[in-house]
Amino acid sequence: MAAKQATPIAPCETLIDHYLPAPAVCDEMRTAQGEVRSHWRYLLDVLTQLGPAGLEERKREARRLIRDNGVTYNVYGDPQGMARPWELDLIPLLLRSEEWTQIERGLMQRAELMNQLFLDLYGPQRLLKKGVLPAELVYSHPGFLLACHGIEVARDRPLVMYAVDLTRARDGQWRVLGDRTQSPSGAGYALENRVVLSRVLPSLFRDSHVHRLAGFYRAVRRAMRTLAPRRHSASRVAVLTPGPSNEAYFEHAYLANYLGYTLVQGADLSVRDGALWLKTLERLERIDVVLRRVDDIWCDPLDLRDDSLLGVPGLVQAVRSGNVTLANALGATVLEHPGLMGYLPGICRELLGEDLLLTGVQTWWCGNARQREFVLQNLERLVIKPVTLDPRRRCIFCPELDPAALTLLRDQLQAHPERFVAQEYVPLSTAPVLLGNCIEPRPTVLRSFLVAEEDGYTVMPGGLSRVAADGQTLAVSNQLGGIGKDTWVLASEPERQETLLMPGERQVPLISQESDVSSRVADNLFWIGRYAERAEGLVRMLRIIVFNLTERMSLADPSTQTGCLQYLLRALTHQTLTYPGYVGEGAEQRMADPYPEMLSLITHADRMGGLPQTLKSLCQAAWSVRDRLSMDTWRVVNDIGVQLRALTDESSTELSEVLDELDPLITALVAFSGLTDENMNHNEGWQFLEAGRRLERGVNLATLLNTTLVPVTDEPEESLIIEAVLGITDSLITYRRRYQAGTRVGALLDLVFQNESNPRSLAFQLVQLERLMRELPRTQFQMGRTHPEKLALAALTDVRLAELDILTTPLPEARMRQPLQQILQRVADGLANLSNALTALYFRHEEQPHTLLSRYGQEEP
């Protein structure tokens, strides 16, 4: 089967030429007799009409949207690391409304059951006492958290968000493959799939009368509101993420944005007075509800795993005191025990007094002697699921094992039977996937989502379908992966358009979520400003240098030209701090042949201070505050990422070729600056970004002027240098207009050093910095000016009071403008101190918490 993907797909007469479902499995589109089910016909017609070219175009469009929106999925252990683009198939999974109603009923019952099960296990444990469920099954599960026993659960709803993986068995009935109770992921991807698909196939989507998803997310918002311990409108919800390296970080940021909640990491939070607080720059903001995407055992180093750095010390106690609600409740992992499946019918009768509507796959828990006996006798035809919290441990398909591996498994199973669960092998139903310009059947799993409301559970009408990329059986795991599909529940009647912002709904004042910039976020924004400016400044300088190297060589006197170039190359090394470069040891050789060093700065992926490294840092900082950047800004960040890959991937040795790639890059960087300026709320977050940008530009300018204008040069060399500096500072046109009589150092300094209206002058940066420092948040106890404020003011005053005549006059015997050098050095030092002062005042994250245990054995007892 795997080979299929490698062979080029032959063009086919019709869309479904290759559509031959395996006889032993159920297919979503074709009946066993080979007929297309009626609810698929319209879709097929539309796709056929589009034709191969039309399909190809839609596919490209979908890929572009996904890339632009930055939809990614990280895979643990992937050398590519972060941000692998999400894959979406153009063909949705179609479900008829009548069938969906059945599934929905089953899902709602199951959610209620799981909820009751949690309450019993962490409460009276009647099921264990009655023997409906073996105590050992529960007690041996690493997700059964003793610390959570007896904690009162808000509204008796520990299971707020719930997801179920389903497939259709051979008999046409839906079967549950697994339950997701910990912090179910995928709802954000489902929404994004819908957004993309409805844009790529708008008329098909409209005419198919698909159930809308927005209602589900409104239910999520309602649910969060009812869970708040303080029931007033200002209650505040945060989405807790493990951070940017988590597999589903995109979704955490996406959902936080879509629902209007603050995205936080453990280090942003603190427990005080028995309640949970967000540490913003000015004050502590109370958090009422946490939509938790950190696995429960990592949530509190005091009560749970003490080596966790992702959680918040004291959080369990805050929950126990009823001052904050976690959704889902801590301890919900135990409900994911695969062995529960076999006991659920009995539990359902016991807890709900009903028969279980949605059946799971046949399951045996090896901790039970009789079930273990059965498993050992039938091992070679079963699927084994290890009971573990480790997401990397996959299920084992015994039919694929050789005898030696089977023996080994048998031994492991007998040594620790309670750690293994066996399930019957259920071939997944297949659904059509568009490959090339044909569709083919591929195994499919549907993940459906539920949210708890006061009077029961609400089911998302649709869900996230996943198909195996290689056509082989999809290993159902906690991790997502594979190709995503939208899921369309076809309504008989068209539905009204809905968004989260329906006029009918009472709006939660979002203003309360405004001041939520934590130290971590401010720090990242500051560095985004610095890196973006650093990259832009570097590209501008590189362009001017290359221009001087190539275009001007023939025109000017080579020796003059060489002199000018040397200054510029030195400035390049100073600005990027890539010593020795053109300054230290071996500088002469590099000057003689400047190309390799420049090429290395532009293309070498790991060179500190080089262009790729700077861009990478920019992208990483942006990714860490993904939720703070607008869609358009994010699109530009993605562009920058693409340019970055282009720079480092191609092993081009020609500088001129590399140079061609710098033009789109500078466009993207300029667009980034413009968007952050125009599309970001000018609140404190933006102020830090802006401060970073101004500070970086100021430092670069001081360095540039110091390297190029401090040494006294003769005409015509001086003119060339002045022109180059004007080029780098983008001030050539203004200069020509203002100072028509030739080029002089004094005039240049007037424009790029002291002029407060030229956005590229040093004075301009300092004016902005001084203002920003004044406006940054401060504690109410702060008297007078802050340290950063004083530093900015000192540098600005220094520049304002400087006499240009004195600055430009070299000392008699020296060929250096020492007064200029001194003031530039002072400004550069002042700016470096300013950066440190900002860090000390605003970004000094509280130290990592430490754990201490008392110990025994000091004395002989």
Partner 1 sequence: MKYRITHVTRYRYSEPVSLCHNQAHLKPRSHKGQAVARDQIKIEPWPAVSREHRDFFGNRVNYFAIQQAHEVLEVTALSEVEVTPAALPPGHTTPAWEEVRDQLRHSSEQTGLHARLFALESPSAGFAPGVREYATASFRPGRPLLEGAQDLMGRIHGEFAYDPHFTTVATPLAEVMRHRRGVCQDFAHLAIACLRSLGLAARYVSGYLETLPPPGQSKLQGADASHAWFAVYLPRFGWVDFDPTNDQVPAEQHVTTAVGRDYNDVTPLKGVFYGGGEHQLEVAVDMERVADQ
Return the structure tokens found at 548: 């001087």
User: In the complex, what is the shortest distance from the CB of residue 846 to partner 1, in angstroms, rounded to a whole number?
Assistant: 5
Range in contact with partner 1 (rule: CB under 8 A) among 299-307, 427-435, 497-505, 619-627:
299-307
**Residue 548 burial class via C-beta count within 10 angstroms: exposed 0-12, middle 13-18, buried 19 and up:** buried
CB 555 within 8 A of CB 315: no
Biggest CA–CA distance in the chain, Å, is: 102
Phi and psi based region of residue 460 (left: phi greater than 0; alpha: psi -120 to 50; beta: remaining): beta
Question: Given the complex with partner 1, which of 299 and 361 has the nearer CB atom?
Answer: 299
Question: Given the complex with partner 1, which of 322 and 810 has the nearer CB atom?
Answer: 322
User: In the complex, what is the shortest distance from the CB of residue 211 to partner 1, in angstroms, rounded to a whole number?
Assistant: 44
Helix or strand or coil: residue 583?
Answer: coil
Question: Given the complex with partner 1, which of 365 and 567 has the nearer CB atom?
Answer: 365
Q: Which residues inside 117-176 make contact with partner 1, applying CB under 8 A?
A: 125, 128-131, 135-136, 139-140, 146-147, 149-150
Q: State how far the Cα of 712 lies from the Cα of 779, in Å rounded to an integer.
A: 48
Question: Given the complex with partner 1, which of 148 and 752 has the nearer CB atom?
Answer: 148
User: In the complex, what is the shortest distance from the CB of residue 134 to partner 1, in angstroms, rounded to a whole number?
Assistant: 8
Among 143, 184, 242, 301, binds partner 1 (CB under 8 A): 301
Q: State how far the Cα of 302 lies from the Cα of 312, in Å rounded to an integer.
A: 9
Helix or strand or coil: residue 289?
Answer: strand
Question: Given the complex with partner 1, which of 22 and 840 has the nearer CB atom?
Answer: 840
User: In the complex, what is the shortest distance from the CB of residue 376 to partner 1, in angstroms, rounded to a whole number?
Assistant: 19
CB 488 within 8 A of CB 446: no
Q: State how far the Cα of 487 lies from the Cα of 499, in Å rounded to an integer.
A: 18
Range in contact with partner 1 (rule: CB under 8 A) among 301-309, 378-386, 635-643, 737-745:
301-309
CB 438 within 8 A of CB 9: yes
Return the structure tokens found at 534: 């650093």
Question: Given the complex with partner 1, which of 801 and 852 has the nearer CB atom?
Answer: 852
Kindly give the pairing relationship between strand 420-424 and strand 325-327: unpaired
Among 38, 497, 559, 854, binds partner 1 (CB under 8 A): 854
User: In the complex, what is the shortest distance from the CB of residue 151 to partner 1, in angstroms, rounded to a whole number?
Assistant: 9
User: In the complex, what is the shortest distance from the CB of residue 277 to partner 1, in angstroms, rounded to a whole number?
Assistant: 11
> In degrees, to the nearest 5, what angle opens at C-alpha 175 toward C-alphas 171 and 180?
165
Among 158, 186, 313, 537, binds partner 1 (CB under 8 A): 313
Question: Given the complex with partner 1, which of 108 and 148 has the nearer CB atom?
Answer: 148
User: In the complex, what is the shortest distance from the CB of residue 139 to partner 1, in angstroms, rounded to a whole number?
Assistant: 4
**Inter-CA distances, 539 with 335, 525, 604, 665, Å:** 54, 21, 15, 8
Return the structure tokens found at 220: 């999520």
Question: Given the complex with partner 1, which of 154 and 468 has the nearer CB atom?
Answer: 154
User: In the complex, what is the shortest distance from the CB of residue 387 to partner 1, in angstroms, rounded to a whole number?
Assistant: 12
Q: Which residues inside 49-88 make contact with partner 1, applying CB under 8 A?
A: none
Question: Given the complex with partner 1, which of 162 and 277 has the nearer CB atom?
Answer: 277
Task: Answer yes or no whether residue 849 interacts with partner 1 by CB under 8 A.
Answer: yes
Question: Given the complex with partner 1, which of 270 and 808 has the nearer CB atom?
Answer: 270
Question: Given the complex with partner 1, which of 10 and 146 has the nearer CB atom?
Answer: 146
Cis peptide before 716 (omega within 30 of 0): yes
Interaction pattern, residues 314-343, with partner 1; x per rule: CB under 8 A: x--x--xx----------------------
Question: Given the complex with partner 1, which of 455 and 847 has the nearer CB atom?
Answer: 847
User: In the complex, what is the shortest distance from the CB of residue 409 to partner 1, in angstroms, rounded to a whole number?
Assistant: 19
Q: State how far the Cα of 131 lies from the Cα of 140, in Å rounded to an integer.
A: 16
Q: State how far the Cα of 576 lies from the Cα of 615, in Å rounded to an integer.
A: 13
CB 652 within 8 A of CB 658: yes
How many residues sit close enough to partner 1 to count as binding (CB under 8 A)? 43
Q: Which residues inside 256-275 make contact with partner 1, applying CB under 8 A?
A: 270-274
**Inter-CA distances, 245 with 67, 73, 77, 81, 747, Å:** 18, 10, 11, 8, 50
Q: State how far the Cα of 295 lies from the Cα of 243, in Å rounded to an integer.
A: 12
Type of residue at 775: E
b/e per residue 764-796 (b: at least 16 CB within 10 A): bbbbbbbbbbeebbbeeeeeeebebbbbbbbbb
Among 302, 409, 435, 832, binds partner 1 (CB under 8 A): 302
**Residue 392 burial class via C-beta count within 10 angstroms: exposed 0-12, middle 13-18, buried 19 and up:** exposed
Among 303, 533, 690, 789, binds partner 1 (CB under 8 A): 303
Question: Given the complex with partner 1, which of 30 and 372 has the nearer CB atom?
Answer: 372
CB 334 within 8 A of CB 184: no
> Considering only CA atoms, which of 53, 74, 4 is closest in space to residue 620?
74
Using only C-alpha atoms, what is the Rg of the chain?
32
Type of residue at 419: R
Task: Answer yes or no whether residue 411 interacts with partner 1 by CB under 8 A.
Answer: no
User: In the complex, what is the shortest distance from the CB of residue 351 to partner 1, in angstroms, rounded to a whole number?
Assistant: 17
Question: Given the complex with partner 1, which of 413 and 572 has the nearer CB atom?
Answer: 413
Among 377, 492, 554, 858, binds partner 1 (CB under 8 A): 858
Range in contact with partner 1 (rule: CB under 8 A) among 218-226, 235-243, 310-318, 690-698:
310-318
Question: Given the complex with partner 1, which of 509 and 857 has the nearer CB atom?
Answer: 857
Question: Given the complex with partner 1, which of 41 and 272 has the nearer CB atom?
Answer: 272
Range in contact with partner 1 (rule: CB under 8 A) among 166-174, 522-530, 584-592, 850-858:
850-858
> Considering only CA atoms, which of 112, 111, 67, 61 is closest in space to residue 86?
67
User: In the complex, what is the shortest distance from the CB of residue 273 to partner 1, in angstroms, rounded to a whole number?
Assistant: 6
CB 296 within 8 A of CB 287: no
> Considering only CA atoms, which of 99, 33, 27 is closest in space to residue 439?
27
Q: How many CB atoms lie within 10 A of CB 593?
A: 8
Task: Answer yes or no whether residue 852 interacts with partner 1 by CB under 8 A.
Answer: yes
**Inter-CA distances, 10 with 5, 20, 573, Å:** 12, 15, 55
- Tell me the β-bridge partners of 441: 432
User: In the complex, what is the shortest distance from the CB of residue 173 to partner 1, in angstroms, rounded to a whole number?
Assistant: 35
Q: Which residues inside 681-700 make contact with partner 1, applying CB under 8 A?
A: none
> Considering only CA atoms, which of 312, 413, 309, 425 is closest in space to residue 362?
425
Task: Answer yes or no whether residue 652 interacts with partner 1 by CB under 8 A.
Answer: no
> Considering only CA atoms, which of 80, 581, 117, 129 is closest in space to residue 337?
117
User: In the complex, what is the shortest distance from the CB of residue 523 to partner 1, in angstroms, rounded to a whole number?
Assistant: 18
Interaction pattern, residues 412-451, with partner 1; x per rule: CB under 8 A: ------x---------------------------------
Range in contact with partner 1 (rule: CB under 8 A) among 298-306, 346-354, 394-402, 704-712:
298-306
User: In the complex, what is the shortest distance from the CB of residue 274 to partner 1, in angstroms, rounded to a whole number?
Assistant: 5
Task: Answer yes or no whether residue 840 interacts with partner 1 by CB under 8 A.
Answer: no
Q: State how far the Cα of 623 lies from the Cα of 642, in Å rounded to an integer.
A: 14
Question: Given the complex with partner 1, which of 274 and 427 has the nearer CB atom?
Answer: 274
Q: State how far the Cα of 300 lies from the Cα of 538, in Å rounded to an integer.
A: 44
Residue reference for tokens 């282009």: 646
Q: State how far the Cα of 581 lies from the Cα of 304, in Å rounded to an integer.
A: 51
User: In the complex, what is the shortest distance from the CB of residue 377 to partner 1, in angstroms, rounded to a whole number?
Assistant: 22
Question: Given the complex with partner 1, which of 86 and 343 has the nearer CB atom?
Answer: 343
Give residues in contact with partner 1 (CB under 8 A): 125, 128-131, 135-136, 139-140, 146-147, 149-150, 270-274, 301-303, 306, 313-314, 317, 320-321, 418, 846-847, 849-861
